Amino acid sequence: MLRWIAFILIVLIVGAGVAAAAIPGPQRAFCAQCFGLKDIGNNVFTDAPEDSEALTWLVSASDDRVAEFYGTLRAHPRYIICSTRDCYRRFGGSTAKATSFGAEIIRVGPNGLNATILAHERMHTELAARLGWYGMLISSVPAWFNEGLAVYWSNDSRYRDPTTAEEEALTLTAITPGDWLKLLHEFPALPAYQSARNMVAEIATTIGDDGLRALVDETTQGADFNATLQELLASAG
């Protein structure tokens, strides 16, 4: 009986591994070289190793920008950098310029090869490293703030137009990553990234960038996000 159970477990494990390899997606990052990418060092894998110097500089520049906010960096994500759509699709990429997955993976498409986009995704991985899987699971930091902080600190010039109170109120409803994706899907005309960025920028005008750091630090250590934010706003006002 035990041998049959062991056999079934082995079959399930092998089957899961085969399925993970067969289906395009970010899980392929863990064997990037199996799918045609070259390791150019510093946890960066690409289909364009001839551009290794420029790509290494971009990754370093994004790290430096994020370190200006967080100080010591805890996340060490694996970069999957694709210069072609075919490569990007092999790793599950579609229309997004780049996407991060927890603290482990940053997948970058041919339209995302710039320091601003990389810094945005790097901000996500760094927050994920501080939250841990449980903090991410319960959305200790709401999705709107996570996205807004990434846009704000990466200094993305695409998202600087003013937004209305109604747009910001709707954006505030995005607490979990699922909420955020649902918001983007149901309200495609909503400037969600812009609204999130503007709300974070408005908070920063009151508590400063140091206050933003304190908010993140305290929340990732177990404090309630909304209560901590209100305390910081009150003490600064």
- 208-217 pLDDT, tens digit per residue, is 999 999 999 9
> Looking at the structure, do residues 184 and 104 belong to the same domain, yes or no?
no
Structure confidence by residue, pLDDT tens digits, 36-71: 999 999 999 999 999 999 999 999 999 999 999 999
Structure confidence by residue, pLDDT tens digits, 113-160: 999 999 999 999 999 999 999 999 999 999 999 999 999 999 999 999
The whole-number pLDDT of residue 8 equals 40
Say how far apart CA 132 and CA 150 lie, in whole Å: 18
Q: What angle do CA 85, 23, 184 make, to 5 degrees?
A: 65
**Structure tokens that stand for 152 in this block:** 């704000």
Q: Length of the chain, please?
A: 237
**Structure tokens that stand for 113 in this block:** 């090869």
- What domain count does the chain have? 2
Q: What is the DSSP letter of 198?
A: H
pLDDT higher than 50, residue 2: no
> Domain boundary at 111, 138, 165, which?
138
> Looking at the structure, do residues 21 and 44 belong to the same domain, yes or no?
yes
pLDDT higher than 80, residue 20: no
Q: What percent of the chain has pLDDT over 90?
A: 89
Q: Is 185 exposed, middle or buried (0-12, 13-18, 19+ CB in 10 A)?
A: exposed
Range of the domain at 217: 139-237
> Domain boundary at 90, 116, 138, which?
138
pLDDT higher than 70, residue 221: yes
> Looking at the structure, do residues 9 and 99 belong to the same domain, yes or no?
yes
> Looking at the structure, do residues 113 and 190 belong to the same domain, yes or no?
no
> Domain boundary at 110, 138, 166, which?
138
The whole-number pLDDT of residue 189 equals 86
> Looking at the structure, do residues 35 and 77 belong to the same domain, yes or no?
yes
pTM of the predicted protein model:
0.90
> Looking at the structure, do residues 120 and 6 belong to the same domain, yes or no?
yes
Q: Give CA separation, 136 vs 76, 95, 102, 155, in Å.
A: 17, 24, 8, 24
